[in-house]
Amino acid sequence: MGMTMTQKILAKHAGLPTVSAGQLIEADLDLVLGNDVTTPVAIHEMDKFNKKEVFDKEKIALVMDHFTPNKDIKSAEHCKCVRQFSCANEIKNFFDVGEMGIEHALLPEKGLIVAGETCIGADSHTCTYGALGAFSTGVGSTDMAAGMVTGKAWFKVPSAIKFNIVGEKAPWVSGKDVILHIIGMIGVDGALYKSMEFVGEGIKNLTMDDRFTIANMAIEAGAKNGIFPVDELTEEYMKEHSTKSYTKYEADADAEYDEEYTIDLSTLKPTVAFPHLPENTKTIDEVGDIKIDQVVIGSCTNGRISDMRIAAEIIKGRHVAKGLRVIVIPGTQEVYLQMLDEGLTKIFIEAGAIVSTPTCGPCLGGHMGVMAAGERAVSTTNRNFVGRMGHVDSEVYLASPAVAAASAITGKISGPSDLGL
């Protein structure tokens, strides 16, 4: 029996000729990631090890992105703990304020992860790097601690669901709409414990940023990982951002899948996930009249330069609705600089939005846009759980940068077509 793309990468890293779904393996890790919320717990766990040295100073990435620039004394203490650990252990890829970005936007941009590699991260959206053809998955702090010391992690080899992508997207439809459509279709546990493998001739019509967004939200369907084949676009991206050598894997022709779906991009419309689950999706024409208080454009899901360009294109020459708070957050310093170079920052500020330094902040109700009771946000982030962006009686509607930008102008959930675009 053949192997899926994910299974091939895992087999290689476990030193086994083949693996099959359900098998328990121990795999070598090419990268171990943590942030300012999860790393302090991992450092504390590391103290329990007999051996306390890290396995490889260059294969650990620590990114201070959640509550930074620090929102309070306790989070400052957390960052201080990670800073001291990084210094003591000579961690090469420690990213503090000034260098940091939102981890899943930052790591691919810095070229720290490439096709064919394995990565665990103590952050659930670590599955983002599947866009590059890598196996990457979210874990907790104890797994991270064990990974930092041993360079290995245990995995149950996942079975997979195949998504055959065909067709071409309509204008203003993006990767966010693709993944929201899929989660709406299979549910928040539709891919529980499984890989989501994206294949098909339609992949070439998805930009790298579309693919990052899609792989990023695989976890919102419960998946272990989401993964894309490596094509010319992927290779171009990796050559531009990384000096690492990469390995291309393809699923075997006789690989087994639990389920197969065809996603015709040409049939998709801008899609919105209603509170309080990412699976509660409606297309923009079904949304109705929903007034909002806040718009967030950014995050590990949609904080990349193409997201900013789409939003700016819609907002340019218009003004945000009276009484609405519009928060734009570039994913990395590099994205921020590109925005300045391209005049996007000016467009947002002139329209009445604010542009923040990179931070996860509002996505998880941490800081920089926490909501009061009864308030509603349209957000390009990834979760709309109860209380996710603040008060338990606030609401988050997940959408693409295009829908968020259009909503910023009208003050209610809107698509670009509502502005005549």
Partner 1 sequence: MKAYGTVHKYGDNVDTDVIIPARYLNSSDPAELAKKCMEDIDADFVNRVKPGDIMVANKNFGCGSSREHAPIAIKASGISCVIAETFARIFYRNAINIGLPIIECPEAAKGIEAGDMVEVDFDSGMIYNKTKGTEFKGQAFPPFMQEIIKNGGLINNINSKNK
- List residues binding partner 1 (CB under 8 A): 24, 37-38, 40-41, 44-45, 48-51, 66-67, 71-72, 74-75, 78, 121-124, 126, 138-143, 145-146, 149-150, 154, 188-189, 192-193, 219, 222, 224, 277, 364-366, 370, 383, 385-388, 392
Select from 92, 141, 102 the least CA-distant residue to 297.
102
Tell me how far, at minimum, the Cβ of 98 lies from partner 1, in Å.
21
| CB-based contacts of 82, cutoff 8 Å, min separation 6 | 34, 36, 39, 40, 43, 62, 64, 94
Measured from the CB atom, the residue of 277 and 312 that comes closer to partner 1 is: 277
> What one-character-per-residue DSSP string does 388-399 give?
TTBSTT-EEEE-
Q: Please state the closest distance from residue 37 (CB atom) to partner 1, in A.
A: 5
CB of 192 to partner 1, least distance (A): 6
Q: Which residue's CB is nearer to partner 1, number 91 or number 145?
A: 145
Both tokens assigned to 12 = 């290689």
Nearer to partner 1, 200 or 298 (CB): 298
Which residue number, 222 or 352, has a Cβ lying nearer to partner 1?
222
Reduce the DSSP state of residue 412 to 3 states and report it: strand
CB of residue 143 to partner 1, shortest distance in Å: 6
Tell me the angle at which helices 232-241 and 208-216 cross, rounded to the nearest 10 degrees. Answer: 90
Q: Are 293 and 378 in contact (CB under 8 A)?
A: no
Please say which residue, 25 or 339, places its beta carbon nearer to partner 1: 25
Q: Supply the minimum distance, in Å, between the C-beta of residue 336 and partner 1.
A: 24
Q: Which is nearer to partner 1, 371 or 405 (CB)?
A: 371
Q: How far is the CB of 69 from partner 1 (least distance, A)?
A: 14
Cα–Cα distance measured from residue 218 to residue 166, given in angstroms and rounded to the nearest whole number: 19
Unique residue bearing structure tokens 């990213």: 95
In whole angstroms, give the CA distance from residue 25 to residue 8.
Answer: 13
Handedness of CA 258, 277, 410, 344 (dihedral sign): negative
Per DSSP (E only), the strands in 157-308 are 160-166, 195-199, 225-227, 259-264, 271-273, 281-283, 294-297
Q: Is the dihedral of CA 407, 264, 130, 195 positive or negative?
A: positive
With respect to partner 1, which residue has the nearer C-beta, 35 or 213? 35
Nearer to partner 1, 123 or 395 (CB): 123
Which secondary structure element, helix H or strand E, spans residue 60, and what is its range? Answer: strand 60-63
Minimum distance of partner 1 from residue 257's CB (angstroms): 18
Contacts of 381 (CB under 8 A, 6+ apart): 296, 298, 299, 301, 302, 362, 363, 389, 396, 398
Query: Can you tell me the distance from the alpha carbon of 175 to that of 303, in angstroms, rounded to the nearest whole number?
Result: 13
Q: How far is the CB of 159 from partner 1 (least distance, A)?
A: 13
Tokens representing 105 are: 């936007």
